[in-house]
């Protein structure tokens, strides 16, 4: 590869708000999205909330001349979470070499039907591309929605999802020269989950790094000017919120920069009506050789004041709270099950003695349904506690190893810590 090698990559990302029967003007917006993507001719278009496979197939045929490669990520697990699918898909000018996906362990509550996240398989999809001799790992994801910032009952789930996402990227990108992550993270830039993701993976935020930004104020991806946005959700944020991202990094020997970043501003650039309730992100990334660096100056303070250490502690604390809450609900459900079984025993005795049979049988039937329903709630929260405990154990392990990394010197850098971790894995093997 030539020393003056450079590669330009144009990337598009959008949460399409494609809920069948519920999203307004869905068919028209999908048509205009396809027209827009054909005109702009990006290298990669990564989409979220394409919940209908028919919409994907429509876009697939419409974009085939410009984007010959495409993939739709389906998700499903034995707990029936994710029966709607992941809603994630990718269209590419370049051949897809490999693809896989990871469905998040925790994704809301099945009895919160009006939110619907549990029924959609929130996941992260990975596609591997070979571009001019470089290996690009492109990730697309969609995390659990927030709904209520003041009383966020899903915070622990989103932190766990952010950790799973960071962990998945770390373990699947070892052979990659470039890493790209796009998606609707449902996380504000200063939220715990976003800080955890950035600190552990070392990804760069295109909005903060770009040399040329054009678009909505502060890079917001949900803005009050968009007619599809629920204005009540933005009462605390008059300028809007930034929850959709283009994140990237390059490994040693290469550097990657964001030349331009654009967002839509509440309307389609061509017709004036929005493509979605979210704003689209359009980034131009430039990859080139990086000159070797000798003895780079450390950028982080002592290990105890390291941002990574701090965010790991915060995440462990939040997961502790989530575990306690999940166990409380499981315990409460077990008490209800016990009372229900006792009530069933009394009703059975009344029926056996020839009491008021019709009423007793009706109550017995209702009680059986209640016990079974509460039993499902008990099992769900038991599994929730186990999932949170697993994520907490992984975080605590990383936190312990980070403290051990003090032996690397008085200053601590997450990148050096990751290399230290790889050394341990090699020795163990």
Averaged pLDDT of the chain? 86
Q: C-alpha dihedral over 106, 109, 113, 115, to 10 degrees?
A: -60
| Catalytic site positions | 278
Check pLDDT > 60 for residue 298. Answer: no
**Dist CA 200 CA 21 (whole Å):** 39
Residue 278 burial by Cβ neighbours in a 10 Å radius (0-12, 13-18, 19+): buried
**Dist CA 136 CA 159 (whole Å):** 26
**Dist CA 307 CA 290 (whole Å):** 26
**Mean predicted confidence (pLDDT) in 117-140:** 92
Where are any strands of DSSP class E within 115-230?
A: 123-131, 134-142, 178-184, 204-205, 213-214
**Mean predicted confidence (pLDDT) in 76-101:** 82
Percent share of the chain, pLDDT over 70: 85
pLDDT of residue 301: 38
Sign of the torsion formed by the C-alpha atoms of 20, 21, 26 and 31:
positive
Please say whether the beta carbons of 240 and 234 come within 8 A. Answer: yes
Count other Cβ atoms within 10 Å, centred on residue 185.
25
Of 184, 12, 27, nearest to 91 by C-alpha is 12
**Dist CA 48 CA 68 (whole Å):** 19
pLDDT of residue 241: 96
**Dist CA 233 CA 419 (whole Å):** 42
Percent share of the chain, pLDDT over 90: 64
**Dist CA 76 CA 391 (whole Å):** 21
- Comparing 429 with 337, the larger pLDDT belongs to 337
Of 221, 283, 213, nearest to 248 by C-alpha is 283
Q: Which of 72-86, 136-150, 396-410 has the lowest mean pLDDT?
A: 72-86
**Dist CA 207 CA 134 (whole Å):** 24
**Dist CA 17 CA 14 (whole Å):** 9
Distances (CA, A) of 319 to 67, 316, 413: 41, 5, 25
Question: Sorting pLDDT into bands at 50, 70 and 90, what band is 218?
Answer: very high
Where exactly are the structural domains of the chain?
A: 6-289, 307-408
**Dist CA 176 CA 11 (whole Å):** 18
**Mean predicted confidence (pLDDT) in 93-97:** 97
As its CATH architecture, domain 6-289 has: 4-Layer Sandwich (3.60)
- Write the DSSP assignment of 45-60 as a string of letters: EEEEEE--HHHHHHHH
Residue 373 burial by Cβ neighbours in a 10 Å radius (0-12, 13-18, 19+): middle
Check pLDDT > 90 for residue 114. Answer: no
Check pLDDT > 80 for residue 153. Answer: yes
180: three-class secondary structure by DSSP: strand
1: three-class secondary structure by DSSP: coil
Check pLDDT > 80 for residue 71. Answer: yes
What angle in degrees, to the nearest 10, is found between the helix axes of 192-201 and 307-352? 130
Check pLDDT > 80 for residue 316. Answer: yes
Question: Sorting pLDDT into bands at 50, 70 and 90, what band is 368?
Answer: confident
pLDDT of residue 251: 82
Please say whether the beta carbons of 231 and 158 come within 8 A. Answer: no
407 CB contacts (<8 Å, ≥6 apart)?
none
């Amino acid at each position: 590869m030539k020393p003056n090698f450079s590669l330009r990559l144009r990337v598009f990302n959008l949460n399409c708000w494609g809920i069948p029967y519920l999203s307004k003007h869905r068919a028209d917006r999908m048509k205009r999205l396809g027209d827009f993507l054909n005109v702009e001719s990006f290298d990669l278009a990564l989409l979220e909330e394409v919940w209908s496979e028919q919409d994907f197939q429509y876009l697939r045929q419409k974009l085939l001349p410009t984007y010959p490669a495409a993939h739709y990520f389906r998700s499903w697990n034995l707990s029936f979470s994710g029966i709607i699918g992941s809603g994630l898909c990718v269209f590419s000018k370049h051949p897809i070499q490999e693809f896989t996906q990871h469905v998040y362990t925790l994704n809301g509550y099945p009895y919160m039907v009006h939110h619907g996240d549990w029924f959609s398989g929130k996941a992260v999809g990975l596609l591997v591309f070979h571009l001019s001799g470089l290996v690009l790992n492109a990730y697309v994801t969609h995390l659990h929605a927030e709904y209520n910032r003041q009383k966020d009952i899903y915070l622990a789930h989103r932190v766990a999802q952010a950790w799973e996402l960071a962990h998945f990227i770390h373990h699947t990108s070892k052979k990659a020269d470039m890493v790209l992550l796009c998606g609707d993270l449902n996380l504000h830039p200063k939220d715990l989950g976003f800080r955890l993701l950035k600190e552990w993976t070392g990804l760069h935020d295109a909005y903060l790094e770009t040399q040329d930004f054009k678009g909505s104020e502060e890079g917001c991806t949900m803005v009050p000017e968009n007619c599809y946005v629920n204005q009540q959700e933005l009462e605390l944020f008059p300028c809007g919120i930034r929850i959709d991202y283009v994140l990237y990094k390059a490994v040693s020997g290469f550097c990657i920069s964001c030349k331009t970043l654009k967002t839509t501003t509440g309307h389609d650039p061509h017709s004036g009506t929005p493509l979605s309730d979210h704003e689209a992100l359009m980034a131009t990334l430039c990859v080139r050789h990086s000159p070797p660096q000798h003895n780079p100056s450390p950028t982080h303070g002592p290990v105890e004041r390291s941002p990574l250490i701090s965010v790991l502690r915060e995440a462990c604390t939040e997961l502790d709270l989530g575990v306690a809450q999940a166990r409380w609900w499981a315990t409460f459900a077990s008490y209800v099950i016990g009372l229900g079984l006792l009530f069933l025993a009394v009703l059975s005795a009344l029926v056996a003695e020839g009491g008021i049979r019709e009423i007793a049988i009706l109550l017995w039937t209702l009680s059986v349904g209640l016990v079974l329903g509460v039993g499902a709630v008990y099992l769900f929260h038991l599994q929730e506690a186990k999932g949170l405990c697993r994520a907490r154990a992984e975080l605590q392990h990383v936190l312990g190893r980070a403290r051990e990394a003090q032996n690397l010197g008085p200053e601590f850098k997450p990148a050096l810590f990751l290399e230290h971790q790889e050394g341990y894995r090699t020795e163990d093997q």
